[in-house]
Amino acid sequence: MATHTLLPDFAPAPSATRRDYVAQTLRTAILTGQIAPGTQLVESHFATQFGVSRGLLREAIRELIETGLVVNRPYAGTYVADIDENTMSDVYEVRRIMEKQAFIRLWPQRDAAFRTEMTARFDALAEAAANSDLNRESAAEAHFHGLVYERCGNHLLLDVWQQMTQKIQLGFAVCRLTHTPKPDYAENHQLFLKLAIGDDLNAMLEELDAHLLRGLSTIRAALRNTAARG
């Protein structure tokens, strides 16, 4: 298990929005692999780093607990959530069902505004990938896939997606930590975009299956690399 001596350094939090700043900075560090899954979030370390009280730090961490990114272990402290192959397989199984249903619901309702927004989100993803901006890349990928949930008309699907995407991003953070090769984000989403704004629903659903399988396979490989390293 990682120790606090391996944790990154952070600048003191701005006074106006300290709790939000602390929560977002920790969230970004976790989702980009700076803080590895299973790492303890040592209160004294982070309170000093951010220049905040432990009470404020706990409020920020509570936000991460509510999204499932951090877990509280009684009498042990708070830790970045651990993930394993079974967890990620479950996540992707549920995601496949949800995303298919979202596309089926949305399909007759797609309009020019949807196609324009989907293309714009792809462009943002491609730009982040081209610049090797890991933080933006991860967020842009989730933003790209999130559009169908936002527009499908089922708010419960959207709520579950917003919670699920944290674990998916955590999985790709492990890929970065283990230097596991992953599909090129832009190339891997080109056909997805073409079909999502096209006219063949069956082809879209087939590509969705293949697309999610590639993502899950990449994360599985990273988790196996982690296990092999002990």
15-35 confidence digits (pLDDT tens): 658 889 999 999 888 887 788
Q: How confident is the model at residue 41 (pLDDT cuts 50, 70, 90)?
A: very high
In the predicted model, what is the mean pLDDT of residues 151-165?
Answer: 93
Core vs surface per residue 140-166: b (16+ CB within 10 A) or e:
bbbbbbbbbbbbbeeeebbeebeebbb
In the predicted model, what is the mean pLDDT of residues 156-183?
Answer: 83
Closest alpha carbon to 185 in 114, 116, 137: 137
Judge whether residue 125 has pLDDT over 60: yes
Task: Tell me what the pLDDT averaged over the chain comes to.
Answer: 88
Q: What local confidence, expressed as pLDDT, does residue 208 receive? A: 97
d(CA 142, CA 172): 11
First to last CA, the chain: 10
DSSP designation for 82: P
pTM of this structure: 0.80
Name the E strands within the chain. Answer: 70-73, 77-80
Q: How confident is the model at residue 191 (pLDDT cuts 50, 70, 90)?
A: very high
